[in-house]
C-alpha cells in the first residue's frame, strides 16, 4: 500500500491541489528544499521576515517589546488587542487540531487529521469570536486564496466553540496597512463544512501523486531540475 499524507492544513491542501507530486515530495518523502540565495537588495527571505513580524506582534500584545516599524500603522488595533489579552479575552498563536470527525484534539495527537494555526483569537462575548491573521507580502493576487483560508478559519472556530453564533475573520496586511474583515453567522459559516471535508478526504486518502506541470508552479518549485536551482527530484516540469 502506498504511503499517504496523514494530516492536512490549508497550506498542505493548497500544495496538493496545485501539484500532487510536490505534496508527496514535501509531506511524505520529506525532501528538504534547497538553500535559496537572497533576492537582490533584500536582507532576509520573505518567510523569515514574516516570521519575525508575527513574533514581534505576539510579543507586543503580551506587553514585552516595542512596536516594530512595520506594525506602526496598526498601533491602535494592537493596543486594543493588548488590553483584551490582559483581560483574558485573547489567545495567541492558536494551534488547533481536529480528528477526522472534526472533534478538537491535541496538535501532535495521533488522531489529528486537520490542523489550523492562527495568530490570535478574541472572545468578544460568549457568542461572538474574532480570528486574526497577520499577512506580510502581497495582498493583490492572493484575494481568493486568503478568502478560502478565512473560510477554513471560521469553520474551525465554530467546530471548536459550538456555542458561538458569529465569527469575524480579519486579515491584517502589514505591507498595505490594511485590515479586511468578513463576518460569518453560524448558519452561513457551517455551509463550508461539506466542501472542506471532501477536500480533506481527497488529500489524506490519495495514493497516487501525479505531477501537474505548468509554467507558474514549476517556476517556483523547489524540486525542479538542478540546472534551474532545484533538487532535481521532479523531471516532469516545464
pLDDT digits (tens, 9 = 90+) for 164-185: 999 999 999 999 999 999 999 9
User: Looking at residue 82, what is its pLDDT?
Assistant: 96
pLDDT digits (tens, 9 = 90+) for 57-72: 999 999 978 899 989 9
Does residue 13 form part of some domain? no
Does residue 221 form part of some domain? no
Residue 54, domain CATH: 3.90.320.10
Does residue 65 form part of some domain? yes
User: Looking at residue 41, what is its pLDDT?
Assistant: 74
Does residue 96 form part of some domain? yes
Does residue 1 carry a pLDDT above 70?
A: no
Q: Which domain holds residue 75?
A: 36-207
Q: What are the Cα distances from residue 108, in Å, to 31, 84, 113, 160, 202?
A: 21, 28, 10, 17, 21
Does residue 25 form part of some domain? no
Q: Which residues contact 134 (CB under 8 A, 6 or more apart)?
A: 53, 54, 57, 119, 172, 174
- Grid coordinates in use for 112? 489529528
Does residue 227 form part of some domain? no
Lowest mean pLDDT among 44-48, 100-104, 145-149, 190-194: 44-48
Check: CB of residue 232 under 8 Å from CB of residue 223. yes
- How far apart, in whole angstroms, are the C-alpha atoms of residue 115 and residue 128? 22
Per cent of the chain over pLDDT 70 is 100
- Grid coordinates in use for 35? 538553500
User: Looking at residue 237, what is its pLDDT?
Assistant: 78
Domain count of the fold of the chain? 1
Does residue 191 carry a pLDDT above 90?
A: yes
User: Looking at residue 18, what is its pLDDT?
Assistant: 96
CA angle at 123 for the pair 121 and 128, rounded to the nearest 5°? 110
Does residue 5 form part of some domain? no
Does residue 232 form part of some domain? no
Q: pTM of the full predicted structure?
A: 0.93
Amino acid at each position: 500500500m502506498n504511503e499517504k499524507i496523514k494530516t492536512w492544513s490549508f497550506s498542505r491542501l493548497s500544495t496538493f491541489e496545485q501539484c500532487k507530486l510536490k505534496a508527496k515530495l514535501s509531506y511524505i518523502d520529506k525532501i528538504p528544499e534547497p538553500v535559496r540565495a537572497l533576492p537582490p537588495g533584500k536582507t532576509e527571505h520573505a518567510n523569515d521576515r514574516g516570521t519575525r513580524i508575527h513574533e514581534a506582534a505576539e510579543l507586543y500584545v503580551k506587553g514585552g517589546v516595542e512596536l516594530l516599524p512595520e506594525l506602526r500603522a496598526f498601533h491602535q488595533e494592537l493596543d486594543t488587542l493588548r488590553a483584551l489579552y490582559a483581560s483574558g479575552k485573547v489567545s495567541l498563536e492558536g494551534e488547533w487540531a481536529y480528528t477526522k470527525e472534526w472533534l478538537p484534539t491535541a496538535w501532535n495527537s495521533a488522531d489529528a487529521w486537520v490542523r489550523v494555526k492562527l495568530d490570535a483569537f478574541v472572545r468578544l462575548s460568549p457568542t461572538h469570536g474574532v480570528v486574526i491573521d497577520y499577512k506580510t507580502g502581497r495582498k493583490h493576487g492572493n484575494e481568493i486564496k486568503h478568502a478560502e483560508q478565512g473560510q477554513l478559519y471560521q469553520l474551525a472556530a465554530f467546530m471548536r466553540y459550538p456555542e458561538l453564533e458569529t465569527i469575524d475573520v480579519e486579515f491584517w496586511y502589514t505591507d498595505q496597512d490594511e485590515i479586511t474583515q468578513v463576518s460569518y453567522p453560524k448558519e452561513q459559516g457551517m455551509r463550508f463544512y461539506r466542501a472542506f471535508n471532501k477536500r480533506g478526504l481527497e488529500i489524506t486518502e490519495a495514493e497516487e501523486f501525479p505531477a501537474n506541470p505548468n509554467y507558474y508552479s514549476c517556476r517556483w518549485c523547489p524540486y525542479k531540475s538542478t540546472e534551474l536551482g532545484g533538487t532535481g527530484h521532479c523531471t516532469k516540469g516545464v
